[in-house]
């Protein structure tokens, strides 16, 4: 049984928490896209963790955690995350890495930073983790798959060829120090030693796991609106954030992905630049940011304050639709307990017309939110275990949003901890 846990909007919906919880009954958790550019925060019996690359099943002894071929593999980052969780008392996680995953090279971070510097006020708001240069290289066929780290002669020759172009760019576009083959080769050999214990033939591994009926969770990073095809292009990420990409990035037959659990947050937040129709500002935003998530809405990787907004039905319905959602996990609902009234965005007004369909980027940037105000419940709902026990206005909020999303909300998260969950 293969399930995907993915995000509906801009990311930070609480996928880590939902995956960590579902991993209790899973055999394998796979990261199938993205890299170490975003993070997920997990609170469980071992403490609080900000993971970037480690799959969220890493806290469960019985789970094999795989870095799939679709991931931008930052080797030092992965190894340091493993050591970090171990140092905090977590049993050493069972990690495997696809031999076909590509390696984030040290210069990918540099190019990310240099390009953002060059763009100056036109920049993408990159986390400068090297993701965009990494995926450009992958599809320009000048990236390095993990197995290449172990083939010394061809590795050296390829580095030399790749650096020819990189150095032209460094010299003439960015005016930065040049790269040396010997140094990059030496770093690659260090990477090879670091990653060696984890490397597997993931295609054989996965096909066997699927055949044996193992419970496999595909863990997405970011959300639908950051997808390079369906998101707010070009203010998106560089690898697909959709469950469907799990078939590629984890090597799973597409028809085996039976459940697509899309994580939807009870209000909106976004990082980086780009259109955000239901965004709020000032004290109203500051208060939601302070109370949001678990200890405030600040980026797990960058510490940047997140942009805040009311729940956006248009964006979230679209986000669920492009994921192919079979069920929604509705998260961080407890945070809204302080509000007398809760506005939600139910439509976009664009050029004098109201639409409920999510538009392409230029029209999106002209959209103004059409808000509907729902009554708040003015109560702390943490600790509640059944749907019926939730305050009436809280249930009404959930049911209103469920109706707008056009997919059933089956999981409700009312606190950051693993078992702050209501099933419906």
**Minimum distance of ligand GDP from residue 331's CB (angstroms):** 4
Residue (259 or 294) nearer to ligand GDP, CB: 294
Cβ at position 148, least distance to ligand GDP in Å = 30
Name the residue nearer to ligand GDP (CB basis): 69 or 269: 269
**Cα–Cα nearest to 142, from 156, 159, 125:** 159
Least Å from the CB of residue 111 to ligand GDP: 25
Q: Which helix (H) or strand (E) holds 113?
A: helix 106-119
Query: In this complex, which beta carbon is closest to ligand GDP, that of residue 96 or of residue 222?
Result: 222
User: Is 166 in contact with 107 (CB distance < 8 Å)?
Assistant: yes
Judge whether 420 and 386 are in contact, CB under 8 Å.
Answer: no
Residue 334: both structure tokens together:
């407890």
Name the residue nearer to ligand GDP (CB basis): 98 or 413. 413
- Both tokens of 137, joined, read 């290289």
Question: How many CB atoms lie under 10 A from the CB of residue 323?
Answer: 27
Q: Per the structure block, which two tokens stand in for 375?
A: 């009554």
**Quick one: 11 or 274, whose CB is closer to ligand GDP?**
11
266 vs 262: CA distance, rounded Å: 13
What span, in angstroms and rounded, lies between the C-alpha atoms of 383 and 45? 16
Exposed, middle or buried: residue 35 (CB in 10 Å: 0-12, 13-18, 19+)? buried
- Among residues 20, 27, 40, 74, which one is catalytic? 40
Minimum gap (Å) between residue 306 Cβ and ligand GDP: 9
Residue 79 Cβ vs ligand GDP, minimum distance, rounded to whole Å = 21
206 or 409, CB closer to ligand GDP? 409
Residues in contact with ligand GDP by the rule CB under 6 A: 7, 11-17, 38-41, 43, 293-294, 300, 331-332, 334-335, 413-416, 420
**Residue 419 bears catalytic tag:** no
d(CA 94, CA 26): 13
Q: Extract the tokens encoding 1.
A: 């049984």
Residue 236: CA count within 13 A, CB half-sphere: 21
* CA–CA dist 58, 65 (Å, integer): 6
What is the nearest approach in angstroms of ligand GDP to the Cβ of residue 41? Answer: 4
What is the rounded CA–CA span in Å between residue 317 and residue 96?
Answer: 35
Tokens coding 311: 């729940």
Q: Which C-beta is closer to ligand GDP: that of 224 or that of 413? A: 413
Establish whether 40 is a catalytic residue. Answer: yes
Distance CA 325, CA 364 (A): 23
Q: Measure CA of the first residue to CA of the last residue in the chain; give whole Å.
A: 21
Question: Min. distance of Cβ 110 from ligand GDP in angstroms?
Answer: 26
Closest residue to bound ligand GDP by CB: 40
- Positions annotated as catalytic residues are 12, 40
């Amino acid at each position: 049984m293969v399930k995907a846990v993915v995000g509906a909007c801009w990311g930070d919906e609480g996928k880590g928490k939902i995956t960590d919880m579902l991993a209790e009954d899973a055999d394998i958790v796979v990261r199938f896209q993205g890299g170490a550019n975003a993070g997920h925060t997990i609170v469980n019996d071992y403490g609080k963790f900000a993971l970037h690359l480690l799959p969220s099943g890493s806290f469960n002894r019985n789970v094999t955690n795989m870095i799939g071929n679709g991931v931008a593999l930052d080797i030092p980052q992965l190894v340091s995350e493993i050591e970090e969780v171990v140092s905090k008392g977590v049993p050493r996680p069972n990690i495997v890495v696809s031999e076909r995953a590509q390696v984030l090279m040290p210069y990918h971070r540099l190019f990310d930073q240099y390009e953002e510097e060059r763009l100056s006020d036109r920049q993408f708001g990159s986390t400068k983790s090297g993701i965009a240069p990494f995926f450009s290289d992958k599809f320009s066929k000048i990236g390095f798959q993990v197995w290449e780290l172990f083939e010394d002669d061809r590795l050296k020759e390829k580095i030399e060829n790749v650096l020819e172009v990189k150095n032209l760019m460094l010299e003439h576009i960015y005016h930065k120090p040049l790269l040396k083959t010997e140094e990059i080769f030496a770093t690659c050999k260090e990477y090879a030693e670091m990653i060696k214990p984890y490397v597997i033939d993931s295609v054989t591994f996965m096909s066997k796991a699927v055949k044996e009926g193992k419970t496999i969770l595909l863990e997405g990073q970011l959300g639908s609106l950051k997808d390079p095809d369906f998101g707010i292009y070009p203010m998106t990420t560089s690898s697909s954030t959709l469950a469907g990409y799990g078939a590629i990035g984890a090597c799973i037959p597409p028809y085996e992905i039976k459940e697509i659990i899309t994580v939807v947050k009870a209000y909106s937040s976004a990082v980086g630049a780009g259109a955000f129709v239901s965004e709020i500002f000032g004290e109203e935003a500051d208060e939601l940011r302070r109370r949001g998530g678990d200890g405030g809405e600040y980026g797990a990787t960058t510490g940047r304050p997140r942009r805040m907004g009311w729940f956006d039905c248009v964006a979230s319905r679209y986000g669920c639709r492009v994921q192919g959602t079979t069920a929604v996990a509705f998260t961080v609902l407890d945070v809204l307990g302080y509000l007398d009234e809760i506005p939600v965005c139910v439509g976009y007004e664009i050029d004098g017309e109201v639409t409920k369909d999510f538009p392409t980027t230029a029209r999106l940037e002209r959209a103004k939110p059409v808000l509907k105000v729902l009554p708040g419940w003015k109560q702390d709902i943490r600790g509640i275990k059944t749907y019926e026990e939730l305050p009436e206005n809280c249930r009404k909020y959930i049911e209103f949003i469920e109706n707008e999303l056009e997919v059933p909300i089956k999981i409700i998260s009312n606190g950051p901890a693993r078992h702050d969950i209501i099933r419906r």
